[in-house]
């Protein structure tokens, strides 16, 4: 098989991760930092495009690299309507939605714009791989106890899909032939049921659902949250931050670093142990719910994300949920590898690239029928 050359692009709030691959081998990677004060000068996220492009090219030049001869530019993407999983060709409709942040305002939306610009300048294809907008939930998984409030897929789609594909290859099967529960345990925690290649249910890492996480509150008793909202002690911004930025371990222990929590526990801090155990307990409990979603037919449970390096977490979860299915640990994040692998699957004919239509795969229910 040809060793395709792929340039992967993953923009974050104040930096852009870039990596060059030849086949599956990463030959260069860098987290390109952007001046925070400079970024504040731009009114809209898309206005950062030229600045980010220049800093990326400068980093490549410093490393003695060029984008000449790249077969594909592969980006994380974002800001799109909800879509099914897969690799998407970057076309005009996708770019239109990315430029305005059609569904969300986040620097990730610059990924597709940069990939498209580089492809047009240097040649090669341009793709978005399993963007944050992937939503493959079943209808029954969306309904809540309040009419008009629905559950949508907000998870680590890129890493979740890549882990599923990698595990399947490891055991000599196709991802589409397996039932998996994948636990991404990092700054956010997504526990997802993969039913024959579709992520049919999970917790919502953005809106307050599932296990607490290092910076996120997770699922809460709603009446108590309402009381906090109307207590006069917190602004709306502060309450929103408690959901995804200042909740979880940060709220309880003042840190989002699981390693620091581990040191607290070693020093005898019993409350730190209680909170950390509670987080792991909630992860295991959510995995049990995903086993029910899959009707008990689970081929494997896979632990991924940075905190999966913690043997204490692994042992706790094995003791709690290994009765469901064998547990495999694939610690860390594979987002850049996933971007390259997705592009290579299309270039080599293993997978067909999809066309982004701008039409959501789910847009609410008709409640009149």
Assess whether pLDDT exceeds 90 at residue 327.
Answer: yes
* Residue 323 near residue 312, CB atoms below 8 Å: no
The reply to whether 323 and 179 lie within a common domain is yes
Write out pLDDT tens, residues 302-326. Answer: 999 999 999 999 999 999 999 999 9
**Does 144 fall in a domain?**
no
Assess whether pLDDT exceeds 90 at residue 170.
Answer: yes
Q: What is the pLDDT of residue 369?
A: 84
Q: How far apart (Å, rounded) are the C-alpha atoms in residues 76 and 44?
A: 19
Burial of 236 (0-12, 13-18, 19+ CB in 10 A): exposed
Residue with tokens 């399947």: 168
The reply to whether 200 and 217 lie within a common domain is yes
The reply to whether 126 and 214 lie within a common domain is no
CATH number at residue 52: 3.30.420.40
* Cβ contacts of 28-36, under 8 Å, gap ≥ 24: 28/63, 28/65, 29/336, 30/59, 30/63, 32/56, 32/59
Write out pLDDT tens, residues 21-75. Answer: 999 999 999 999 999 899 999 999 999 999 999 999 999 999 999 999 999 999 9
Average pLDDT over residues 127-140: 97
The reply to whether 343 and 322 lie within a common domain is no
The reply to whether 323 and 207 lie within a common domain is yes
Provide the domain limits for residue 103: 5-134+335-355
Q: Kindly state the percentage of the chain with pLDDT values over 70.
A: 100
- Per the structure, the count of domains in the chain is 2
Q: How far apart (Å, rounded) are the C-alpha atoms in residues 281 and 67?
A: 47
Of 239, 202, 241, nearest to 222 by C-alpha is: 239
Assess whether pLDDT exceeds 80 at residue 264.
Answer: yes
Assess whether pLDDT exceeds 90 at residue 288.
Answer: yes
Neighbour tally for 1: CB within 10 Å: 9
**Does 167 fall in a domain?**
no
Report if pTM > 0.75: yes
The reply to whether 207 and 284 lie within a common domain is yes
Average pLDDT over residues 247-264: 97
Average pLDDT over residues 169-174: 98
The reply to whether 127 and 236 lie within a common domain is no
Q: What is the pLDDT of residue 312?
A: 97
Q: How far apart (Å, rounded) are the C-alpha atoms in residues 132 and 259?
A: 27
The reply to whether 192 and 312 lie within a common domain is yes
Write out pLDDT tens, residues 99-129. Answer: 999 998 999 999 999 999 999 999 999 999 9
Q: What is the pLDDT of residue 310?
A: 98
Q: What is the pLDDT of residue 199?
A: 98
The reply to whether 341 and 239 lie within a common domain is no
Assess whether pLDDT exceeds 80 at residue 1.
Answer: no
The reply to whether 218 and 200 lie within a common domain is yes
Q: Which residue has the higher pLDDT, 216 or 1?
A: 216
Write out pLDDT tens, residues 172-223. Answer: 999 999 999 999 999 999 999 999 999 999 999 999 999 999 999 999 999 9
The reply to whether 204 and 269 lie within a common domain is yes
The reply to whether 178 and 100 lie within a common domain is no
* Cβ contacts of 238-244, under 8 Å, gap ≥ 24: 242/217, 243/206, 243/207, 243/208, 243/216, 243/217, 244/188, 244/205, 244/206, 244/208, 244/215, 244/216
Assess whether pLDDT exceeds 80 at residue 267.
Answer: yes
């Amino acid at each position: 098989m040809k060793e395709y050359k792929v340039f992967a692009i993953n923009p974050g709030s104040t930096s852009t991760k870039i990596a060059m691959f030849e086949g599956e081998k990463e030959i260069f990677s860098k987290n390109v930092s952007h001046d925070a004060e400079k970024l504040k000068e731009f009114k809209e996220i898309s206005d950062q495009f030229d600045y980010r492009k220049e800093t990326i090219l400068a980093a490549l030049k410093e490393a003695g690299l060029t984008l000449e001869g790249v077969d594909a530019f592969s980006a994380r993407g974002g800001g799109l309507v909800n879509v099914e999983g897969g690799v998407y060709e970057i076309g005009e409709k996708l770019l239109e939605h990315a430029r305005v942040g059609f569904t969300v305002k986040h620097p990730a939306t610059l990924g597709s714009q940069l990939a498209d610009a580089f492809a047009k300048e240097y040649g090669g294809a341009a793709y978005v791989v399993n963007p944050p907008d992937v939503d493959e939930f079943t209808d029954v998984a969306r309904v809540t106890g309040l009419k008009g409030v629905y559950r949508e897929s907000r998870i680590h789609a890129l890493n979740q899909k890549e882990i599923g594909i990698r595990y399947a290859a490891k055991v000599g099967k196709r991802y589409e032939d397996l039932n998996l529960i994948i636990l991404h345990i990092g700054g956010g925690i997504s526990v997802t049921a993969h039913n024959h290649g579709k992520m049919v249910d999970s917790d919502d890492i953005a809106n307050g659902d599932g296990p607490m996480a290092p910076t996120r509150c997770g699922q809460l008793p709603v009446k108590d949250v309402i009381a906090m909202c109307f207590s006069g002690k917190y602004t709306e911004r502060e309450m929103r931050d408690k959901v995804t930025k200042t909740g979880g371990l940060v709220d309880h222990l003042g840190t989002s670093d699981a390693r620091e929590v581990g040191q607290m526990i070693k020093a005898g801090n019993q409350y730190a142990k209680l909170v950390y155990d509670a987080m792991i307990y909630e992860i295991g409990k959510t995995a049990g719910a995903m086993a029910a979603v899959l009707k008990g037919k689970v081929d494997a449970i896979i632990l991924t994300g940075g905190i999966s390096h913690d043997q204490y977490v692994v042992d706790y979860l094995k003791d709690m949920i290994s009765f469901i299915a064998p547990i495999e640990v694939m610690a860390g994040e594979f987002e850049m590898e996933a971007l390259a692998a997705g592009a290579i699957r299309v270039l080599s004919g293993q997978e067909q690239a999809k066309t982004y239509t701008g039409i959501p795969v789910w847009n609410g229910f008709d409640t009149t029928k």
